[in-house]
Amino acid sequence: LSDFDTADFIAGFIAEAEEHLGAVNANLLSIEGAAHKGEPTPRQVRDLFRSFHTLKGLAAMVGVDPIVDIAHAMETVLREADRAAGRLPTGAVELLLRGTGVVEQGVRALAKKRPVRAAPASLLSALTDLRQTADGTLRPATATSLPAEMWAKLSAAEREQLVRGMEGGRAALLILFRPSPERVAAGVTITSIRERVAAAGEIVKVLPQSIPASENAPGGLAFALIVLSSAEESALVAAAAVEPSDLTPIRLEAPPSGGPLPAEADLGPDDHNLGREGVVRVEVKRLDEALERLSALVVTQFRLVRTLAALREGGADVRALAQVVGENGRQLRDLRGAIMRARMVSVAELLERVPLIVRGASRATGKPARVEMSTGHAELDKAVAERIFPAIVHLIRNAIDHALESADERRAAGKPEVGLVSVACHERSDNQLELIVSDDGRGVDAEAVARRAGTAVPATPEALLELLARPGLSTRAEVTQTSGRGVGMDVVRRITVDELRGELSLATAPGRGTTFTLRIPLSITIVDAFSFACGGETFVVPVSTVEEIREIDVAKVVRGPDRRKTPRGEPDRRRATRTSDMIERRGQAVPLLQLDELLGLPSAEAPLRKAIIVRRNGEPFAFAVDRMLGQQEIVVRPIEDALIQLTGISGTTDLGDGRPTLVLDLAALGDRLASDGTGAAA
Partner 1 sequence: VNDLHVLCRVADADYVVAAADVLQMESFAGATKVPGAGAEVAGLVQIRGRVVPVIDLRTVFGLPTITPTIDSRVVVTKRGGRTVGLLVDSAREVIKIPEGDFQPPPSVLTQQTEGIVKAVAQVGTRLLMLVDVGKVVGEERIEERTDGQ
In angstroms, what is the minimal distance from the CB of 466 to partner 1? 18
- Closest C-alpha to 176, from 116, 86, 244: 244
Q: Which stretch binds partner 1 (CB under 8 A): 173-181, 421-429, 465-473, 658-666?
A: 658-666
- For the chain, give percent helix, strand, coil, nearest 5: 45, 20, 35
In this structure, are residues 229 and 213 in contact, taking their beta carbons and an 8 Å threshold? no
Strand, coil or helix: what is 387? helix
Enumerate residues 12-51 that contact partner 1 by CB under 8 A.
none
Among 401, 661, 668, 673, contact with partner 1 (rule: CB under 8 A): 661
The span from the CA of 95 to the CA of 77, in Å, is 10
Asked whether position 296 contacts partner 1 by CB under 8 A, the answer is yes
Of 69 and 537, CB closest to partner 1:
537
Q: What is the spatial distance between Cα 4 and Cα 521, in angstroms, rounded to a whole number?
A: 38
Length reported for the chain: 682
The conformational region for residue 536 under phi > 0 = left, psi -120 to 50 = alpha, else beta, is left
Cα–Cα distance between 240 and 296 in angstroms, integer?
49
**Does the footprint of partner 1 cover residue 647 (CB under 8 A)?**
yes
Cβ distance to partner 1 smaller for residue 168 or 600: 600
- The smaller minimum CB distance to partner 1, of residues 217 and 299, is found at 299
Among residues 11, 206, 424, 646, the one that binds partner 1 under rule CB under 8 A: 646
Q: Smaller CB distance to partner 1: residue 133 or 645? A: 645
Q: Tell which one of 261, 345, 639, 674 touches partner 1 (CB under 8 A).
A: 639
The yes or no reply on residue 182 touching partner 1 (CB under 8 A) is no
* Residue range at the interface with partner 1 (CB under 8 A); choices 62-70, 278-286, 362-370, 638-646: 638-646
* SS3 call for 313: helix
CB of 503 to partner 1, least distance (A): 21
Cβ nearer to partner 1, comparing 115 with 600 = 600
State which of positions 579-598 bind partner 1 (CB under 8 A): 598
Residue 600 contacts partner 1 per CB under 8 A: yes
Q: Which of 216, 640, 675, 678 binds partner 1 (CB under 8 A)?
A: 640
Contacts of 117 (CB under 8 A, 6+ apart): 66, 105, 106, 109
Nearest CA-CA partner of 635 in 280, 301, 281, 282? 301
Q: Is 248 left (phi over 0), alpha (psi -120 to 50) or beta?
A: beta
CB of 644 to partner 1, least distance (A): 5
Is position 537 an interface residue for partner 1 (rule: CB under 8 A)?
Answer: yes
Q: Does residue 679 belong to the site contacting partner 1 (CB under 8 A)?
A: no
641 binds partner 1 (CB under 8 A): yes
Say whether residue 675 binds partner 1 (CB under 8 A). Answer: no
- Smallest distance, partner 1 to C-beta of residue 599, A: 4
In the β-sheet with 369-374, what is the strand arrangement from edge to edge? Answer: 369-374, 419-427, 432-439, 513-521, 503-509
Q: Could you tell me the smallest distance in angstroms from the CB atom of residue 292 to partner 1?
A: 7
Determine the 3-state secondary structure of 186 from DSSP: coil
Interaction of residue 650 with partner 1, rule CB under 8 A = no
Total chain residues near partner 1 (CB under 8 A): 29
What single-letter DSSP state applies at residue 354? H
Please state the closest distance from residue 642 (CB atom) to partner 1, in A: 4
Q: Contacting partner 1 (CB under 8 A), which of 361, 662, 666, 668?
A: 662
Asked if 681 is part of the footprint of partner 1 (rule: CB under 8 A), the reply reads yes
Is 601 an interacting residue with respect to partner 1 (CB under 8 A)?
yes
Q: β-strands 221-229, 202-210: how paired?
A: antiparallel
Q: Does 332 bind partner 1 (CB under 8 A)?
A: no
CB of 600 to partner 1, least distance (A): 5
Q: For 19, how many CA atoms within 13 A lie in the half-sphere containing its CB?
A: 15
Per rule CB under 8 A, is residue 667 in the interface with partner 1?
no
Count the helices and strands in the chain (H runs, E runs): 21, 24
Among 234, 644, 675, 678, binds partner 1 (CB under 8 A): 644
Q: How far is the CB of 329 from partner 1 (least distance, A)?
A: 20
Shortest distance (Å) from residue 541 CB to partner 1: 14
Which CA distances in Å does 386 have to 353, 381, 525?
13, 9, 13
Among 10-18, 104-112, 395-403, 651-659, the segment contacting partner 1 (CB under 8 A): 651-659
Alpha helices in 207-251 (DSSP H): 233-240
Whether 50 and 64 have beta carbons less than 8 Å apart is answered as: no
- By CB under 8 A, is residue 648 in contact with partner 1? yes
Q: Which is nearer to partner 1, 63 or 638 (CB)?
A: 638
Question: Which one of 46-54, 116-124, 369-377, 650-658 is the stretch in contact with partner 1 (CB under 8 A)?
Answer: 650-658
Q: Is 637 in the site for partner 1 (CB under 8 A)?
A: yes
Closest by CA to 519, choosing from 498, 499, 505, is 505
Q: Which residues contact 77 (CB under 8 A, 6 or more apart)?
A: 88, 89, 92, 95, 96, 127, 130, 131, 134
Residues lying near partner 1 in the complex (CB under 8 A): 292, 296, 537, 598-601, 637, 639-649, 652, 654, 658-662, 680-682
